[in-house]
Amino acid sequence: MRIFKFLFAALLLAAPASAQPTYPSKPITLVAAFAPGGATDISARIIAKELSAELGQPVVVDNRAGAGGAIGALSVARATPDGYTLLLGTGSELVVLPAVKSKPPYDSSKEFEPIAEIGTVSFVLVAHPSVQANNVQELVALARANPGKLSYASFGMGSTNHLLGEFFMSKSGTDLLHVPYKGSAAAATDLVAGEVKLAFDTTTVVMPLVRSGKLKALAILSPSRSNAAPGVPTLTESGIALSAVGWVGVVGPRGMPPAIVSRLNKSINKVLDMPAIREAFAERGVAVVTTTSQQFGDFIKAEVVRWTDVVKASGVQVE
């Protein structure tokens, strides 16, 4: 009888643990902090379909745009850390925005759980065909002759391409008019229409427009020339010592169980190893990168330090 009671008590104690559902047991929300149609949104949708199949649950992309990506990022930082709300994050809202804001909306090193990097992407300086400049030198001369008149679009105040525009002006001695948008898709629409004249946007968004003749590429901001923008010189080659590479990856709220982080990391990396996925990203100028969650976390910390130093040195700050 005593043995029976002991076994019964042991079963009762074990019951709650065994009753825990296997992750994931319901749909996962993958937040994209910018509007549909941009590089972040496109990357999220490429990964979501195959990740849904790999995890056995729907992965639903949720666009929460605004405030340079802060609205979407904050929604994830404040979510329950159970693995069901994730962010397809970029260096723009996770690193640059906190560095350039006088009152940072969050501390990326403390408020997000790194899961897996997805890849890197280059920025391109593009112009509307009406701009009377076919290279960077001609653009600088035109801008100097017309201070404050040439406009450039960004993803929002404090975004990476806003900062790139500020750096460009500082290094070239020009004065451009900054026009912020909620995402690159809206910015590209107005750029093609000629409502704004310039942009520092990703190869993912602008190179199809360049190939169709709707925009012209003046320079790529990667350290070296890229197959994603054939024949386009680097900005450094063009006389402006400025280079930057964007990146994208998956993070969650800080405090996620290590087992869930590990499951997601392995599943994402498995999806990234699929030839069709690599090809889909390559067609959009994204170079796939696979990492452990620890490696991605170390990378984010290094990026925070780097961009904080860059912003301090530049003196650029936004409210």
What pLDDT does 89 receive? 94
Query: Can you tell me the mean pLDDT for 204-225?
Result: 94
What CATH number corresponds to the domain at position 85?
A: 3.40.190.150
Q: How many domains does the chain have?
A: 2
Same-domain pairing of 96 and 126: no
**Residue 235 domain-assigned (yes or no):** no
Instruction: Considering only the C-alpha atoms of the chain, give the largest distance between any 2 of them, rounded to a whole number of Å.
Output: 96
Same-domain pairing of 81 and 127: no
What pLDDT does 20 receive? 58
Query: Can you tell me the mean pLDDT for 250-270?
Result: 98
Which three-class secondary structure string do you get for 255-283?
A: CCCHHHHHHHHHHHHHHHCCHHHHHHHHH
Residue at 116: amino acid letter: A
Does residue 161 contact residue 200 with C-beta atoms inside 8 Å? yes
**Residue 268 domain-assigned (yes or no):** yes
Instruction: Check whether the bond before 58 is cis (ω within 30° of 0).
Output: no
Same-domain pairing of 97 and 155: no
Does residue 86 contact residue 64 with C-beta atoms inside 8 Å? no
| DSSP β-bridge partners for residue 287 | 120
Q: Which of residues 115 and 315 earns the better pLDDT score?
A: 115
Phi, psi of 120 (to 5 degrees): -120, 155
**Residue 298 domain-assigned (yes or no):** yes
Same-domain pairing of 75 and 96: yes
**Residue 133 domain-assigned (yes or no):** yes
| Region for 163 from its dihedrals, namely left if φ exceeds 0, alpha if ψ lies in -120 to 50, beta otherwise | alpha
Same-domain pairing of 148 and 208: yes
Same-domain pairing of 112 and 45: yes
Same-domain pairing of 149 and 100: no
Q: Which of residues 242 and 85 earns the better pLDDT score?
A: 85
Mean confidence (pLDDT) of the chain: 90
User: Does the pLDDT at position 128 exceed 70?
Assistant: yes
Residue at 237: amino acid letter: E
Same-domain pairing of 205 and 279: no
Instruction: Round to whole Å and give the CA distance between 83 and 72.
Output: 16
| Region of poorest pLDDT, from 10-24, 75-89, 283-297, 304-318 | 10-24
What CATH number corresponds to the domain at position 163?
A: 3.40.190.10
DSSP H or E stretch at residue 31? strand 28-32
**Residue 183 domain-assigned (yes or no):** yes
Range of the domain at 79: 27-119+247-314
Same-domain pairing of 203 and 131: yes
What pLDDT does 95 receive? 93
What pLDDT does 15 receive? 46
Instruction: Round to whole Å and give the CA distance between 155 and 96.
Output: 12
**Residue 242 domain-assigned (yes or no):** no
DSSP H or E stretch at residue 209? helix 203-211
User: Helical H runs in 57-177?
Assistant: 70-77, 91, 97-100, 108-111, 136-145, 160-172
Instruction: Round to whole Å and give the CA distance between 40 and 205.
Output: 10
Same-domain pairing of 304 and 166: no
**Residue 19 domain-assigned (yes or no):** no
Q: Report which of 34, 153, 179, 159 is spatially closest to residue 100, judged by C-alpha positions.
A: 159
What pLDDT does 18 receive? 46
Phi, psi of 255 (to 5 degrees): 100, 10
Same-domain pairing of 90 and 142: no
Query: 177, 205, 220: which is the final residue of a domain?
Result: 220
Same-domain pairing of 257 and 187: no
